Each structure stands twice: as C-alpha cells, then as structure tokens.
C-alpha cells in the first residue's frame, strides 16, 4: 500500500560509491529489530559517550523559564493545532488557493513513492543535475536521496549534521541534531576521506571547512529541496525555522525550489505561527527564536535579483490520514521540536538509530507503528517506561504515554504479541479464575522464590531473562498475602 | 481519482465531514483569517528600544547607536576598521544613497555574490521581543545581501522597532498589499551545534551581525 515499505527491508540502495560506508549501519532496517539494535547501542562506547555529552534538556528548561505563562501558551498552541486538524481539508484547500494565486505549484502525494516520483518529474522537467537539500524529515521517510541518485541526480545535504551523516552513508539519529552520535574524530576522518584536506580536529575548523565546501554546492545547486515547518493558510506561505542559514540558501539561490511537508503542518494565520514559534524553538534548543525564520511565498517576482524561478510544495499523506479521527489523532499536533526524545530516559541511553525508522524517541514510538504498521514496529510502543517526561515537556500537549499504552493494547487486541507472552497471559488468566489453584500456585511460587534468595534474602539471578543482569530482586517472604491474612485473623 | 481527491476524501471520511456543514466551516475559516487574533503570549512589560538592544546582544549580534541617518556611513566605517574587515561592501540601493564620501568604504548596490565579505542592508521592521530583524525581499531589497557575506550590517531606524512578531504582521498588513516572495526574520549570526553539540557561529550564513540603531 505504501510505496516505500519494501525498501525498509532491503539494504541501502542507489548510493554512490563515494558515499558508501563500511562500518556503520544505516537506519533502514525494519523497526521490528529494535531490541537487538538497542542492545548493540548500549554496548557501543561511542554512542554512549555521545549520549552523555548530549544535553538539550537543560537548554530547554532555561528557555522555558523565560516565559511567565508557559502552560497557558502551551494550551493555546495545542488548541491552534487542533483547530487545523479539525477542518484539515478546508485549511489545506485555503492554503492551496492562496499559494497557487502567488505562483506556487502545489502537489499532493498519497504515498512515499508519490513524493519521489513528483520530485523526479520536476527535476527532469527543469533539467537540473545538482540538487541541494536542507533538512526534510519527510524526505527521509521516502528515501528520496536514494531515489534521486538512482535516477542520476547529484544530491547534497547541506545542514551540517545531515551532511555528516550523508558522507558517512548513515541516517539521522535525532530530528534536530542528526549527527549527535558522531564524535569530532569521526567527522575529522570523514572530511579527510571526502574533502582530501589535512586532518583537523578543532570543531570550529571542521565547521569552517564544511562551510567552504558547502558554499560551492550552494552556488552551483540548480534545485533546492527543503522541508516545511509550517504552511500558512492565510498567505499561502511556507515557513522554515533554521539556525545555520542553509534553509535560506536552499530557497534563495537555486532556480527551482521544492518543499516537502506533511498534510498536518498547515496553520491558519501568521499570528498562530508566531504563537507556536515561541514554544518550538524553546522546546528544541532553548532559544527564544532560531536565527532564521523564513516565509517563502511563491517564486521570484519581476525585478527581483534573487529567488527561485519556480516554487513547488508537495503536501504528503503517506499514512497521516490513518491517524485522523482516531484515538491517535493527537500525535498529528507534533511540531517536531525533539523535546520528547531529549527528555526520554530510553532515548538518552540508546540514541536514535535503535528506533529503526525516521522518527526516534517517544514521538517515533507513536508515529512509526502508525505510519509503517503496528506489526512492523512491535517493540517501539514498549520502548518506554511511561515515566511521562515526554508528555510533560511536549509543547503541544501530546499525551505520548497514553498513546503508547493504546498502541500496546492494539498489539494485544490484534494478537501481535509474541506467542510466549500470549500463552503466559492466557495461563495466568486461567489460574486467576480458579481461587483454589491460584492459592496453591502462589504458595509454591512464594516458597520457591524464598529458597532462591541467598542469606541476604535477595535473588541475584532469575533464569530465562535478562531482568536480573543489571539489578537484584528482593526474595519473597515465603508466605503469600492470603496466608498471612488468614494467620492474623486467627 | 487524483491524489488530491483521495487525500481530501480520506480526511473528510476521518472527520465525518458533512457537505451541509462546509459553508459554515468555510465561513469560520475566513472569519479566523480576517480576525487573525493574537494568541496567548508572555508578558511584555519592557521598553521597546532597550529590550531590542539587549536581545540583539543575547543573540550574539553587536549593536551601535547613531543619532541620524547621516551618521550611519561613518559609524559603519569605524566598525569595519575596528574589526579589521574589508572597507568594501555589497549594499541595498537605499544604503548606497547615503553619503559614503570620505569614509573610505566602497559600496556597490547589486546582487550579492558568494565571495562578498560585507553586506549592508536596511530593515523593514525590527522585533524587540527577540532582537530580530525583519527583512522583506524586493528588487531593491534582495534577500542574499543579508545571507552570503561573512558580515551582515543592518541599519535599523528606531521608529521601526515593534514589540513582537504579531505587531510586525499588523504593520505589514497595513503597509503592504501582500507578503513579498521572502520574509526573513534574522536574529544574530548563523550558528550550528551539529558536531558534539558545541556551538559555532557562522555555519553557512554570516559570522557576525552588526545592528546600527538610528535614533531619529
């Protein structure tokens, strides 16, 4: 049904030899192997070091402290997002009408395959060869770079983090800090290999070297592909929120600009965008505003010295309408700030690649099963302690733990849990319905448990699973509650 | 059925949309757009100009003050000399019209190029809340002048500083028929923290942004 799904199960395709990597796993294995990947990442010293260095949570806390009424703004922002979703088709039609009037060509993509097809058609029709990209997570969903390279187009990611992961032949591990899993030494090695320059390890020098090489690409790129933080229905504008300036370059210098974004990203008015912006940048990096907030409304006007001759916006469904009108709809409020992953104890320990698809962390654990199928991401809704840190920090009040719990229920309802678990629960239900057998079984278990504890009355090792690998379990007292209760009564 | 039609059909089915309600809903949409209400915002009980200055510095811009437009060229010449920057700049036409004679600075009003080192622009409005410049693209105010050079200098008349982005939209609506191709909000130099989370200024855009506030 969804065009790119088979790709999830294949190896990376269509990547030029110069960009191929030998030692790193790209993130397009199915999300169902989460457990083994999480295990690998926990034992990967590099990932562990990178995750320890990573602290956007502190920056967010300082940014939020700036606002005297964060909770009120948060409520308002959630209401703005809900308003868009409540009449989504009509807001999109309003956006399309105004964007078209201003000369933007609006395309609709039902599937991931549609996105790639539309971009390739535009690239062919406009005879471009070199394509520069600023960040687009939707294009990661559709493996757009692979599709373009397979058709012979040169694609250069220009966000520094995206550029680094592209050179490494990998995928982003965080939605706003794509190369957070890479150390400066990794980057230094990649630059020596690809730029053929003397090795530098100073982060400032590495950034400057990337600037120099990417500047050449900006000046020679013929098509710019961007994502879109928001679509403004009022004015038919595309809003981009960036820090590096590559988003501005990508939408100013090449002669064709193609923006790709999801149907859910439409906002009614400029004021609504301003309200949400106060929370987006603070929640992401703690900044009161990012360095560049850009609204693009149509192509170059008569007499303009810069700007693209053509502007296209691709509005993408690819699974999103399946959440609308369901108990999962709140996930579509997401404004992609990354706060949920920055505060998630699971993400903090395993990094983004373990999640196996485009969106990591709690929001990924909700979106991935919905977009690619619950059966293809069986572990993700369970990859959380439900501590609700994500729910507390989400700027648009997505009840992430509730949504993960609902997905767990759906897994059970659809019989997707492993047979051992299903059998175990059935057995337990059978026993629990029979008080005599239940009493006997618990008496045996309590005594067995007691005998497993040593002199310190602690169980250090349980057979059959890894639960006791990192912790001990207090041994039961040897008698069940019902026995003790009966004794007290006497 | 086109992709557009199927997506719209799926959205309508999901939200149980009734054709009978469409007119009412559309009217509500046009109503919200016409009213464009300002949402919940933080308290803004500060003074415009000091707040703007302070937030510019917070976003790593530098700020200079001059009494009049006539003083701008000399103030910029001084800044370039102090920073040991080239005395040559690509500028917007309105900046070229200032009297640069005797300042030692050569200004060229043209499209910016990849190797321009200094770009000087005016500003449409400036936002006090965040220390932000609001630049509108047009034939005489090209977007790349504030983007390609390593140093961006912006001239900000004090009277064009507004409270927040919402006030900027209100003024734009009253002064312009519609939005230009590009509205760029610029808050300090370009930055990245993509290598080990360490902040670096000057990723792709300018390394430094210098704001000259003009009092009159």
d(CA A23, CA A14): 18
Which of A291, A321, A351 delimits the end of a domain?
A321
* CB A353 within 8 Å of CB A383: no
pLDDT confidence of residue A257: 98
Nearest to A90 among B29, B58, B181 (CB): B29
Secondary-structure breakdown of chain B: helix, strand, coil percentages, each rounded to the nearest 5: 35, 25, 40
* Chain A CA closest to residue B180: A297
**pLDDT single digits (tens) B36-80:** 999 999 999 999 999 999 999 999 999 999 999 999 999 999 999
d(CA B184, CA A276): 17
The burial of A233, by beta-carbon neighbours within 10 Å (0-12 exposed, 13-18 middle, 19 or more buried), is given as buried
pLDDT confidence of residue A465: 65
* Chain B CA closest to residue A218: B114
Q: Report the SS3 class of residue A336.
A: coil
**pLDDT single digits (tens) B131-140:** 999 999 999 9
Domains in chain A, number: 2
Residue A313, sorted as left (phi over 0), alpha (psi -120 to 50) or beta, turns out to be beta
d(CA A366, CA A341): 12
B14 touches chain A (CB under 8 A): yes
d(CA B15, CA A255): 39
Per-residue b or e along B23-34, where b marks 16 or more CB atoms closer than 10 Å to that residue's CB: eebeeebeebbe
Per-residue b or e along A202-231, where b marks 16 or more CB atoms closer than 10 Å to that residue's CB: ebeebbbbbbeebbebbeebbbbbbbbbbb
Length of chain A: 490
Nearest to A252 among B38, B132, B144 (CB): B144
d(CA B169, CA B36): 10
Pair of tokens at residue A206: 């590495």
Interchain proximity B42–A293, CB inside 8 Å? no
* CB A275 within 8 Å of CB B169: no
* CB A44 within 8 Å of CB A183: no
The HSE-up count of residue A409 (CA atoms within 13 Å, CB side) is 8
State the average pLDDT for chain B: 97
pLDDT confidence of residue A20: 32
Interchain proximity A277–B165, CB inside 8 Å? yes
Strand partners, B153: B120, B210
A73 touches chain B (CB under 8 A): yes
Q: Quick check: is A357 in a domain?
A: no
Query: Which among B32, B50, B130, B200 is positioned nearest to A290, based on CA atoms?
Result: B130
**pLDDT single digits (tens) A192-224:** 999 999 999 999 999 999 999 999 999 999 999
* Segment B83-112 mean pLDDT: 97
Which of A304, A321, A338 delimits the end of a domain?
A321
Pair of tokens at residue A185: 């030494």
Residue numbers in A near B181 (CB within 8 A): 296-301, 304, 307
Same domain (yes/no): A447, A313: no
Interchain proximity B204–A244, CB inside 8 Å? yes
A120 touches chain B (CB under 8 A): no
Same domain (yes/no): A173, A295: yes
The pLDDT tens digits along chain A (490 residues) read 333 333 333 333 333 333 333 333 334 455 558 888 998 999 998 888 888 877 899 999 999 999 999 999 999 999 999 999 999 999 999 999 999 999 999 999 999 999 999 999 999 999 999 999 999 999 999 999 999 999 999 999 999 999 999 999 999 999 989 999 999 999 999 999 999 999 999 999 999 999 999 999 999 999 999 999 999 999 999 999 999 999 999 999 999 999 999 999 999 999 999 999 999 999 999 999 999 999 999 999 999 999 999 999 999 999 999 999 999 999 999 999 999 999 999 999 999 999 999 999 999 999 999 999 999 998 999 999 999 999 999 999 999 999 999 999 999 999 898 888 889 989 999 999 999 999 999 999 889 888 888 788 888 888 776 777 778 888 888 888 888 898 898 7
Nearest to B14 among A243, A305, A325 (CB): A325
Strand A473-474 and strand A458-459: the pairing is: antiparallel
Q: Quick check: is A449 in a domain?
A: yes
A255 touches chain B (CB under 8 A): no
Give, as one character, the DSSP assignment of residue A20: -
Q: What is the largest CA-CA distance in chain A?
A: 97
The set of residues, in sequence order, having a beta carbon less than 8 Å from that of A371 and lying 6+ positions away, is: A2, A141, A318, A319, A320, A322, A357
Helix (H) or strand (E) holding A442: helix A435-452
Rg value, chain B, Cα: 22
* Segment B205-215 mean pLDDT: 97
Which CATH number fits the domain that encloses residue A58? Answer: 3.40.50.10420
pLDDT confidence of residue A33: 83
Alpha helix positions (H), A256-399? 270-285, 339-342, 345-350, 361-372, 389-393
pLDDT confidence of residue B55: 98
B31 touches chain A (CB under 8 A): no
Q: What's the angle, vertex CA A281, arms to CA A279 and CA A282, rounded to 5? A: 65
Q: Quick check: is A384 in a domain?
A: no
Pair of tokens at residue A180: 């957070």
d(CA A24, CA B86): 45
Supply the ipTM of this predicted assembly.
Answer: 0.97
Q: Quick check: is A403 in a domain?
A: no
The structural architecture, per CATH, of the domain B48-214 is 3-Layer(aba) Sandwich (3.40)
Interchain proximity B197–A296, CB inside 8 Å? no
Query: Which among B112, B151, B150 is positioned nearest to A304, based on CA atoms?
Result: B112
Pair of tokens at residue A260: 């790709």
Confidence of residue B1 (pLDDT cuts 50, 70, 90): confident
d(CA A383, CA A364): 10
Give the count of Cβ contacts less than 8 A between chain A and B: 266
Residue A474 lies in domain: 419-489
Query: Which among B56, B48, B53, B51 is positioned nearest to B65, based on CA atoms?
Result: B53
Computed from CA positions of residues A164, A167, A173, A176, in that sequence, does the dihedral angle turn out positive or negative?
positive
Strand partners, A241: A293
d(CA A172, CA A169): 10
Residue numbers in B near A278 (CB within 8 A): 41-42
* Chain B CA closest to residue A213: B204
In this structure, the number of other CB atoms found within 10 A of the CB of residue A322 comes to 15
Which of A289, A321, A353 delimits the end of a domain?
A321
Portions of chain B given CATH number 3.40.50.10420: 48-214
- CA A208 to chain B, closest CA, distance in angstroms equals 7
């Amino acid at each position: 049904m969804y065009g790119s799904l088979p790709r999830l199960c294949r190896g990376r395709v269509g990547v030029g030899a110069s960009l191929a990597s030998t030692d790193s796993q790209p993130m397009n294995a199915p999300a169902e192997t989460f457990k083994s990947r999480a295990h690998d990442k926990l034992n990967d010293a590099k990932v562990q070091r990178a995750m320890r260095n990573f602290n956007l949570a502190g920056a967010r806390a300082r940014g939020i402290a700036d606002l005297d009424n964060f909770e009120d703004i948060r409520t308002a922002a959630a209401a703005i997002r809900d308003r868009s979703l409540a009449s989504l088709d009509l807001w999109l039609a309003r956006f399309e009408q105004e964007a078209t009037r201003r000369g933007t060509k609006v395309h609709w993509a039902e599937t991931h395959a549609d996105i790639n097809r539309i971009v390739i058609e535009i690239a062919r029709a406009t005879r471009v060869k070199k394509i520069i990209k600023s960040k687009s997570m939707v294009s990661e969903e559709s493996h757009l770079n692979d599709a373009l390279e397979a058709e012979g187009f040169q694609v250069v990611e220009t966000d520094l983090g995206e550029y680094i992961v592209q050179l490494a032949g990998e995928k982003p591990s965080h939605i706003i800090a794509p190369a957070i899993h890479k150390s400066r030494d990794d980057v230094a090695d990649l630059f020596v290999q690809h730029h053929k320059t003397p090795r530098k390890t100073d982060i400032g020098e590495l950034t400057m070297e990337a600037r120099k090489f990417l500047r050449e690409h900006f000046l020679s790129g013929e098509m710019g592909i961007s994502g879109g933080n928001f679509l403004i229905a009022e004015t038919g504008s595309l809003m981009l929120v960036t820090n590096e300036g590559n988003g501005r370059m990508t939408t100013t210098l090449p002669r064709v600009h193609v923006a790709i974004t999801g149907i859910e990203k439409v906002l009614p008015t400029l004021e609504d965008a301003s309200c949400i912006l106060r929370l987006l940048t603070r929640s992401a990096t703690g900044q009161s505003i990012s360095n560049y907030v850009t609204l693009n409304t149509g192509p170059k006007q008569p007499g303009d010295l810069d700007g693209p001759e053509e502007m296209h916006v691709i509005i993408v469904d690819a699974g999103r309408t399946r959440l609308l009108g369901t108990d999962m709809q709140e996930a579509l409020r997401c404004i992609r700030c990354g706060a949920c992953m920055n505060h998630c104890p699971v993400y903090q320990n395993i990094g983004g690649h373990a999640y196996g698809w485009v969106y990591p962390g709690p929001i990924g654990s909700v979106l991935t099963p919905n977009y690619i199928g619950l059966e293809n991401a069986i572990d993700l809704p369970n990859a959380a302690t439900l501590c609700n840190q994500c729910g507390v920090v989400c700027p648009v009040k997505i009840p992430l733990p509730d949504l993960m719990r609902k997905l767990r229920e759906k897994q059970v309802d659809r019989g997707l849990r492993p047979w051992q678990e299903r059998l175990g629960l059935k057995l337990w239900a059978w026993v629990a319905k029979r008080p005599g057998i239940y009493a006997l079984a618990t008496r045996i278990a309590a005594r067995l448990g007691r005998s497993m504890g040593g002199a310190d009355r602690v169980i250090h090792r349980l057979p059959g699973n890894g639960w006791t690998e990192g912790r001990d379990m207090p041994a039961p007292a040897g008698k069940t509650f019902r026995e003790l209760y009966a004794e007290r009564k006497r | 059925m086109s992709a557009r039609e199927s997506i719209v059909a799926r959205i309508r089915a999901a939200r149980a949309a009734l054709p009978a309600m469409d007119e009412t809903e559309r009217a509500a949409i046009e109503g919200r757009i016409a009213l464009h209400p300002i949402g919940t915002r933080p308290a803004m009980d500060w003074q415009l100009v000091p707040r703007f200055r302070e937030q510019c510095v917070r976003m790593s811009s530098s700020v200079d003050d001059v009494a009049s437009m006539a003083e701008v060229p000399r103030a910029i010449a001084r800044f370039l000399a102090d920073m040991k920057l080239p005395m040559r700049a690509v500028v917007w036409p309105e900046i070229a019209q200032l009297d640069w004679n005797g300042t030692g600075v050569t200004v060229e009003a043209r499209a910016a190029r990849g190797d321009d080192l200094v770009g000087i622009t005016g500003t449409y409005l400036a936002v006090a809340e965040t220390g932000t410049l609001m630049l509108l693209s047009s034939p005489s105010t090209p977007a790349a002048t504030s983007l390609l050079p390593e140093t961006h200098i912006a001239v900000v008349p004090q009277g064009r500083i507004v409270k927040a982005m919402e006030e900027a939209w209100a003024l734009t609506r009253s002064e312009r028929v519609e939005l230009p191709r590009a509205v760029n909000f610029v808050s300090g130099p370009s930055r990245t923290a993509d290598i080990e989370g360490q902040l670096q200024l000057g990723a792709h855009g300018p390394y430094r942004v210098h704001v000259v506030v003009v009092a009159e």
